[in-house]
Chain A
Amino acid sequence: MKMRLARLTLFALIVAGTTALTGCWDIKDINHRALPIVMGVKQTGQSYKVLLLVPDTRDTETSAKIISESGNTINEILDKINKNMENKVDLLHLKVIVFERSVAEKGLGQSIESFMRSRDIPNKTFCAISVGMLEPLFEKLSTASKIGGMEVYDFFEKNAGWSPEVVQTRIWEVFRSMDSYTRDVVIPTIRPGRTTTIESTGAAVIKNGKMVGTIDSEKALLYNLFKGAGTQGKIEVMHHATVKIEADRLTNSSKLHEGQATLSSLLHLKVTVLETVGDPSESEIKREIDDQLSARFQTMLRDAQSKEADFLGLGQLFRDKLSRDDLQAWRSKYYPFMKIHFKVHVIIQDEGLLKSKS
């Protein structure tokens, strides 16, 4: 009898306990949270200004509002915003962080580090750089928005509006590049579009957290190709033909001889002919593709080498040949003098529904 009573008490205690332990503490209802989609960071002098684009859901329509505040550190600003808001700002679903160009030029180090340290911002949030001032961009985002500011996210998302010229860079990739010996990074640059919400203008080259230059959209495509992000569906326009890239594969082989780094890259492209001007033969089209891409690649690389910014991560290919101490000197000692042989091997998969001259 006594045993049964003890068991019953224990059972009652456990049941009572489960109601207390629902896995949440200080719970805030979803209705009492503001979930910003986009964060903008700009810097004037020593102080930062943060803009947040928060979706605003009413009964019938979804719009977005802009909240901004300034202060000395990003966390201080978020704290201020929280204090003045009726809801709790929850950055768990932040999708894109947009830096103003001036911040990137001064150095992203501090902000990126604080984002990585923070427990609530996911480290796979996209990064972007606004070419102009942030305010017009945010204004455009909020007025043009029909879906609560999600356009920016869709713009970068692979299964939505992404296209091969747009670079995808996440916070952790920027953080990785800040300390890396052999790898820099590019961050896509955007501005408010004339007719579309956002317009891509290429990408900014970031070396050790500082912006040192820009590349245009066509070179961003080559960057994506090197990164393995894929160029499928991209349309290349040349003098005599327009082709669509169906598949790509890149093979690299690296050599190091008496301190001279040499890289041979062979790009295999499968293309479909979409349009021809005049009547070019297949081999002419192939040669034209090779010339165009090789020339573009060479100019991009020359530029990067002169800035000692290895955003293609070519140093990675030499890791087996250099010791760790040598790798540390990669950017200054080996990279600027590296030779590269870049060739494109084209396979014309088909010519569409019309025959062309062979």
Chain B
Amino acid sequence: MDKSRQVIVMCLITHMGLIFFLYPADIIASLSVGQWSAVLFGFICHVSMVAVYTKGLSYCAPRNVIDLFQSAGNAFAFLALLPLAIYFVMMIIITVRAYAEIVTVIFLGNTPLWTIMLLFLAVSTLISSWGVESLFRTAMLVALLFFPFLILVIVLSFQNADWHYLLPLMDRKAASFSYVFHRPYLQSMFAFVGGFLFLGFIPSHVPYQRRKIVWFSFVLLPFFLISVYVPLLTFGENTASKFPFPFIMAVDTVDVSWLMFDRVTMFFMISLLCFVILFLALVKWEMLLLLRRALPAAKAPAVSVLLAVFVFIVCLLVPNWSAVEQMLWWNTYLRLYAAFVIPLVTFALGFSRRRKEAIES
């Protein structure tokens, strides 16, 4: 049975969970005029990498990324996948810590961080330990439950938009792409990467159509633009650049008298947090696949819990928000590796394999 729908939904909601918090602040920090060019450039990179990655995977059809890399030699596979594994662990740590901080900043002011981090880790470990199919089914359920709220809040968030803030559309900096190699922009790639790598880990008994995935990636583009432009249109660039979470601030300004709830931000936050927990579960599941291949002796549940404990301890050691940002920055090289090198190598390996098979037959 074709499971494309589940894969697409998973792909969409893991990205959604990441877009709305840190991404707008990074894009606004990297450009003062013409932010759309930054969003579009990042997005084009994203879609082309998804296309390359899935094409490479389709060449070696029943195998997953790990098999593919191993077919080129065990040492190669180990060296090529080690940075990816480190990236995954860093990603889990950063996401858990950052989102726990976001939750305390935005709505649970009195709750200590460790409880929130524990909750994130416990739930995501539980989901990931049940395997990929239940992960996908959970994604479907979560999407059905929370997507309507999310769309409602996004529509409402335009309430205070002043479209004049869209202008001027362009200046020299935006046209020259000189912002690309600066820290805020590189950090913003956080929202693109990580959400699509799971495509290579999906086992062959969950079939999906690669073309659909690439096409449905375009559904994300409006959300990327909205996350950046709603705060810009509401506050203007000068003020929006002062907020660590511009989109949340913009949603906070929404005033709806017919809704019985005072702050629509809550709906928004809770939907996105569910998405983030799913994202964590997904990354953990990928990590476990890698680990199991490297250490066949490791039994899955034990390793899973140990990993969670390790992440929890590291998260407890992170002292403050600037340390989180620092970690996000350190992770940039690994992120670029995961975003560009892994898809390209997958494509190259898949392509050469396909040719070899063609010659043999």
* Other A-B pairs beyond A172-B249, A179-B236, 15, CB < 8 Å: A24-B111, A93-B262, A119-B105, A120-B109, A122-B252, A123-B253, A124-B253, A124-B254, A172-B252, A178-B239, A179-B238, A179-B242, A180-B238, A316-B165, A324-B171
Taking the closest CB of chain B, its distance from the CB of A92, in whole angstroms, is 8
Cβ of B325 within 8 Å of any chain A Cβ, yes or no, is: no
In the complex, chain A residues whose CB is within 8 Å of the CB of B236:
176, 179-180, 183
Of B105, B112, B167, B263, which contacts A320 at CB under 8 A? Answer: B167
Q: Mark A83-94, 1 if CB is under 8 A from B, else 0.
A: 000000000010
Please provide the chain B residues from 246 to 261 with a CB less than 8 Å away from any CB of chain A in the complex: 249, 252-255, 257
One of A158, A175, A322, A324 near B239 (C-beta < 8 A): A175
**Given A170-B253, A316-B162; A176-B115 close (CB under 8 Å):** no
Give chain A residues whose Cβ lies under 8 Å from the Cβ of B115: 21, 25
> Is B33 part of the contact surface with A, judged by Cβ < 8 Å?
yes
Docked complex: A202-231 residues within 8 A CB-CB of B: none
Q: Report Cα–Cα, A124/B109, bound state, in Å.
A: 19
Contact partners of A181 in chain B: CB under 8 A: 238
User: B168, A319: Cβ atoms under 8 Å?
Assistant: yes
Closest chain A CB from B10 CB (angstroms): 25
The answer to whether A25 and B239 have CB atoms under 8 Å apart is no
Interface residues on B, range: 20 to 34
Bound Cα distance from A324 to B252, whole angstroms: 27
B138 contacts the other chain (Cβ, under 8 Å)?
A: no
Whether B238 pairs with A119 at a CB distance below 8 angstroms is no
Q: Is A195 an interface residue (CB 8 A)?
A: no
Smallest CB gap from B173: residue in A: A324
B86 at the interface (CB under 8 A from A): no
A25 to B253 alpha-carbon distance, docked (Å): 26
B residues near A25, Cβ cutoff 8 Å: 108, 110-112, 115
Q: Which of A23-81 contact B (CB under 8 A)?
A: 24-26
Give the chain B neighbours of A172 by CB distance below 8 A.
235, 249, 252-253
Q: Tell me the residues in window 130-163 of chain B with beta carbons closer than 8 Å to chain A beta carbons.
A: 162
In the A-B complex, the 10 residue pairs with the closest CB atoms: A316-B164, A319-B167, A25-B111, A179-B238, A320-B167, A26-B110, A176-B239, A172-B253, A176-B235, A319-B164
**What chain B residues lie within 8 Å of A175 (beta carbons)?**
239
Distance of A171 Cα from B239 Cα, bound (Å):
13
In the bound complex, residues from chain A placing their C-beta under 8 Å from that of B109 are 119-120
* A123→B165 contact, CB < 8 A: no
State how many angstroms separate the Cβ of B239 from the closest Cβ of chain A: 5
Judge whether B82 is part of the interface by a CB distance below 8 angstroms. no
Flag A142-171 by CB within 8 Å of B: 1 or 0 each: 000000000000000111000000000010
In the complex the two chains form, is B162's CB within 8 Å of A324's CB? no
State A320–B238 Cα separation when bound (angstroms): 17
Smallest Cβ distance from A121 to chain B, in angstroms?
A: 11
Cβ-defined contact, A159 with B33, below 8 A: no
In contact, B171 and A323 (Cβ under 8 angstroms): yes
Q: Which residue of A lies closest to B241 (CB)?
A: A179
The complex places the Cα of A70 from the Cα of B348 at a distance, in Å, of 71
Nearest A residue to B253, CB-CB: A172
Please state if A323 and B168 are interface contacts (CB–CB under 8 Å).
yes
Q: Which residues from A are CB-within-8-Å of B110?
A: 25-26
Contact A324 B164 (CB under 8 A): no
Q: Are A21 and B105 in contact (CB under 8 A)?
A: no
- Which A residues are in CB contact (< 8 Å) with B238? 179-181
The verdict on A158 contacting B168 (CB below 8 Å), with A119-B105, A176-B236 known, is: no
Asked, given contacts A122-B252, A172-B253, A324-B33, whether A180 binds B108 with beta carbons under 8 Å apart, the answer is: no
Are the CB atoms of A158 and B257 closer together than 8 Å? yes
Contact with A along B231-243 (1 / 0, CB 8 A): 0001110110010
Closest to B115 in A: A25
Q: How far is the CA of A66 from the CA of B110 in the complex (A)?
A: 27
| B119 close to chain A: CB less than 8 A | yes
Interface residues in B59-115 (C-beta closer than 8 Å to A) = 105-106, 108-112, 115
The SS class assigned to the A binding surface is loop
A residues near B168, Cβ cutoff 8 Å? 319-320, 322-324
Interface residues of A in 303-328 (CB under 8 A from B): 313, 316-317, 319-320, 322-324
A-B contact pairs, 9 of them (CB 8 A): A119-B105, A122-B263, A123-B252, A172-B252, A175-B239, A176-B234, A179-B238, A319-B164, A324-B171
B37 CB–A CB distance under 8 Å:
no
Q: Assuming A119-B109, A122-B252, A323-B171, is B119 touching A21 (CB within 8 A)?
A: yes
Q: Tell me the smallest distance from the CB of B71 to a CB of chain A, in Å.
A: 37
Q: Is B217 an interface position by the 8 A CB rule?
A: no
- In the docked arrangement, what's the CA distance between A322 and B168, Å? 7
Pick from B119, B239, B252, B254 the residue with the most CB of A within 10 Å.
B239
Q: How far is A21 from B111 in the complex, measured between Cα atoms in Å?
A: 11
Interface membership of chain A positions 242-272, coded 1 if the CB is closer than 8 angstroms to chain B and 0 otherwise: 0000000000000000000000000000000
CA separation between A120 and B252, bound complex, in Å?
12
- B32 interface residue per 8 A CB criterion: yes
- The closest CB in chain B to the CB of A323 belongs to B168
Least Cβ–Cβ distance between A321 and chain B, in angstroms: 9
CB distance from A116 to the nearest CB of B (A): 8
Q: Given the complex of chains A and B, what is the CA–CA distance between A26 and B112 in angstroms?
A: 10
Contact indicator per residue, chain B 180-193, by CB within 8 Å of chain A (1) or not (0): 00000000000000
Q: When chains A and B are docked, how far (Å) is the Cα of A317 from the Cα of B162?
A: 11
**What CA separation (Å) do A103 and B119 show in the bound complex?**
45
Q: Which residues of B contact A324 (CB under 8 A)?
A: 32-33, 168, 171
- Complex contacts, B105 vs chain A, CB 8 Å: 119
Q: Which residues of A contact B111 (CB under 8 A)?
A: 24-26
A172 to B238, CA, bound (A): 13
Q: Which residues of A contact B108 (CB under 8 A)?
A: 25
- A93: min CB distance to chain B, Å: 8
Q: Which residues of B contact A316 (CB under 8 A)?
A: 162, 164-165
Docked complex Cα distance between A354 and B234 (Å):
46
Within 8 Å CB of A320, what residues of B?
167-168
Cβ-closest chain A residue relative to B254: A124
**Which of chain B's residues has its CB closest to A317's CB?**
B164
Complex: A31 Cα to B329 Cα, angstroms: 46
How many angstroms from the CA of A158 to the CA of B165 in the assembled complex? 26
Residue of A nearest to B237 (CB): A324
**A319: B residues at CB distance < 8 A:** 164-165, 167-168
Contact of B257 among A159, A180, A183 (CB under 8 A): A159
